[in-house]
Amino acid sequence: MSQLSALSVPVLAICAALAGWVGARRTAAVRKVDIPIAGLPAALEGFTIVQISDIHVGNSIGRRYVESIVERVNGLQADVVAITGDLVDGTVTALGGDVAPLARLRSGHGTFFVTGNHEYYSGVAPWLIEFQRLGLQVLLNRHVVIEHGGARLVLAGVADYSAHHFDPSHRSDPAAAIRGVPGDVAVKVLLAHQPRSASAAADAGFDLQLSGHTHGGQFLPWNWFVKFQQPYTAGLARLRSMWVYTSRGTGYWGPPMRLGAPSEITRIRLIRE
């Protein structure tokens, strides 16, 4: 019996490692989430935002991985595509060709991007130029007003929560991002890489915040520790009158390992409360 137990430990470890590798390397599955919004106009019923986050293009994530994500996102025919940071781990020179397929993302109103902490590790200024060249609209403490079927939705974005440590002019500011919004806007959505932007976002009057950063813990034991840094680890939560959705991420960081925290491409659909 003791020999059997001793043998089972490495076998289980190998099986767990294999399952984690497969979970990391597969193209992220689509996770569908309906979010009820009070007073949602009929024109915005069913409005869809497809969120991708934390792809971490770099050492083991390259062009083919990105192409598979783009293909799956385009198949969802979203109204908006939102990229909530940590897209790259490296320089434009090294990774420009790998992120190039993002130029083929398609949606009704475009693709929008906010910075994560890893963009600052990787040289944020050249990347912002490159993302804009690829057709991504960078929301750096600012918003856009989207006209849809006669109704208006605000999509805002902030720099990463820690961005001011790298560039003081990039200090994350949800209040600045929403400043000057027209009074007839029905829904206000914020893209913020880290969930801990939520308190300031709720104070600023947003209805929904979309975040990433946590990877849902990615694998044991990290999922036990994320909660000590971030108020939300994964999924949908409520903060006062605002919803917060935290993606588990579309790629992975570090070793190709995901166990108990599957990657996701998230299709957010707005519905009437």
70-89 per-position pLDDT tens digit: 999 999 999 999 999 999 99
41-54 per-position pLDDT tens digit: 999 999 999 999 99
Helix (H, G, I), strand (E, B) or coil at 157: strand
The whole-number pLDDT of residue 21 equals: 40
Q: How far apart are CA 128 and CA 28, in angstroms?
A: 25
The whole-number pLDDT of residue 261 equals: 79
Banded model confidence at residue 3, pLDDT cuts 50, 70, 90: low
Angle, alpha carbons 75-78-82 (nearest 5°): 110
Instruction: Give the mean pLDDT of the chain.
Output: 90
CATH number at 68 reads 3.60.21.10
The boundaries of the domain holding residue 206 are: 2-272
The whole-number pLDDT of residue 7 equals: 47
CA distances from 117 to 194, 213, 215 (A): 9, 9, 13
What is the domain count for the chain? 1
164-176 per-position pLDDT tens digit: 999 999 999 999 9
242 DSSP β-pair partners: 239
208-223 per-position pLDDT tens digit: 999 999 998 666 666 6
